Amino acid sequence: MIAKTLEDFSQEELNDLVQKLSSKLWRLDNLYYIKDKDSKIQPMKLNASQRKVLTQYKHKRKIILKSRQQGISTLFLAYNMDSCIFEDGTEAGIQSYGLKESEKLSDRAELMWERFPQIIKDILGISVVSNNKSGIYFSNRSILKIGNFRGDTLQSLHVSELGKIAKKFPDKANELKAGAFQAVSSNNIITIESTAEGKSGLFYEMWNKAVKKKLLGIELNALDFEPIFLPWYADPDCQIFTETPMDKKVVKYLNDLEENLGITFTDTQKWWYQAKYEELTDIMTQEYPSTAEEAFNQSIEGMYYKEEFKNLNVKKDLYDPNLIVYSSVDLGMSDDFPMFFFQLHEVQRPNSKPVRVPKVIGDYVNSGQGLSHYAEVRRKLTQNLGWVFGGTYVPHDIKQRELIANKTRWDAMCELNFHPILVEKHSVADGIQAVREMLEYIEVEETCELLTGAIQNYRRKKDEKLGVFLDTPVHDVWSHPADAIRYMAMGLKYSPPSIIYVRDLVHKKKKNYNSGSYDI
């Protein structure tokens, strides 16, 4: 690290230093001090993940899904600090997910400035004018802000742990989207990094959108985010040098990863994974994911279907053109209208009669649309994919709910050929138990993210003061699809369809208003 005063430099040394200072990469690798993982003050040297993010990804907006302790928040703190020091009039922002975390960032920023080489401060003629809770104000009119940015104009913004922000403080996440993100023009820089917090929330939505564009090969525009995934094995610290007995389950997991990803783990990495897995168990894939998909597929606190989700049978190409497509919907008092499409496959079990296994082949959700819109969705599926529809499981109170004046939703669905099948009134607890039983043998098309998301995110309310979970479900975006799954399970348990093959479909449908269903 540079320690000389300006008077101690020869002209040649000074010219060499000025040349090096023209490289931001060199500056970040040589000029800043940090506290390392052991809380020791050390010069910041870019690790493999930090260097990869800086050198391999050039798009100005990045969204980074990572394992723990990769140093990404520290990197972009230094990145924005550096921009403020070397680019006059820069306004940069750092956002974390809590007061303590923001205070930590402020402390790190102060350390970086205090240990920044005095010789370079002298060369640039820069000093700190003010340092308070809202940020550091420099003499060159640059500002490094930590906190709220609505109404500001920023040249660079970094958001740390957006997944945690969206999970714990959804209103704050929406404020970031509406405020801080809008404070950065399309020509400037936004970086977002987080560990995963389930298949919901702003971070998941933004990550999913970025990945889909990448998979489709769509050229990124100035407002798009480039997705970057940093797995645990990219971190050189994820290894130990003491031989550790390996569990068969972990050995198989790592062997499958090596085969699927085309990589080879060292013994020291395998020993580390085993030791860390024993420590974290269920949350290992959340904190130290091996793939992006794995990162989001972790247990959510208070989830109803925790064990069932871990064993959910997700497959490809489940649709069978010989089978009728049934559906289930939720008609909640809000505008949310989720639909699940499934077929019943006859499976021969040893020493028993054939059983009918539901296989979910599609899902759809929208809001603010009339029933005719969803009827059109079904028509398009028939037209484009050849699906032949049977009945639709609907909630018990559909006959009492008006869609328009003098017409119940039941009547409207009958007119639109949904062929509604009434699910009898039941308690939520009984419905949840029916779903648990169904999930033991159901199969799900891998594209059905609405269903897998609802299974993962449907959870109990928590009394934060007492720290206990209540028997009441959380009411959020997953409530309606979870209810539609419940109607599917209860319908199949107590009112299973009489026919499953297209060839047996009777086109003359008999109304039976006593049972509230159509026999098809």
- pLDDT at position 149 is 67
Q: How far apart are CA 470 and CA 463, in angstroms?
A: 7
Q: For residue 92, what are the β-bridge partners?
A: 144, 156
pLDDT at 271 > cutoff 50? yes
The CA–CA distances, whole Å, from 87 to 83, 156, 497 equal 5, 12, 69
Contacts 24+ apart (CB under 8 A), 251-259: 257/290
Q: Where are the domains of the chain?
A: 6-230, 237-298, 310-519
- pLDDT at position 403 is 57
pLDDT at 229 > cutoff 90? yes
Task: Output the CATH code of domain 310-519.
Answer: 3.30.420.280
pLDDT band at 85 (very low <50, low <70, confident <90, very high): very high
pLDDT at 506 > cutoff 80? no
The mean of the pLDDT values for the chain is 88
Determine the average pLDDT of the residues in 107-128: 93
Name residue, tokens 């009112």. Answer: 495
Highest mean pLDDT out of 154-158, 179-183, 340-344: 340-344
31 sits in the region (left: phi over 0; alpha: psi -120 to 50; else beta) called alpha
- pLDDT at position 95 is 87
pLDDT band at 369 (very low <50, low <70, confident <90, very high): confident
- pLDDT at position 68 is 85
DSSP tag of 87: S
Task: Output the CATH code of domain 6-230.
Answer: 3.40.50.300
Q: For residue 363, what are the β-bridge partners?
A: 340
Burial code (b: 16+ CB inside 10 Å, e: under 16) for 440-454 equals: eebbbbeebbbbbbb
pLDDT band at 401 (very low <50, low <70, confident <90, very high): low
Q: Give, in degrees to the nearest 5, the angle at Cα 503 between 502 and 505.
A: 65
pLDDT at 300 > cutoff 80? no
Cβ count within 10 A of residue 127: 11
Determine the average pLDDT of the residues in 254-277: 95
pLDDT band at 7 (very low <50, low <70, confident <90, very high): low
- pLDDT at position 370 is 86
- What percent of the chain has a predicted confidence (pLDDT) above 90? 57
- Least confident segment among 160-169, 401-410, 469-478: 401-410
Is 0.85 topped by the overall pTM? no
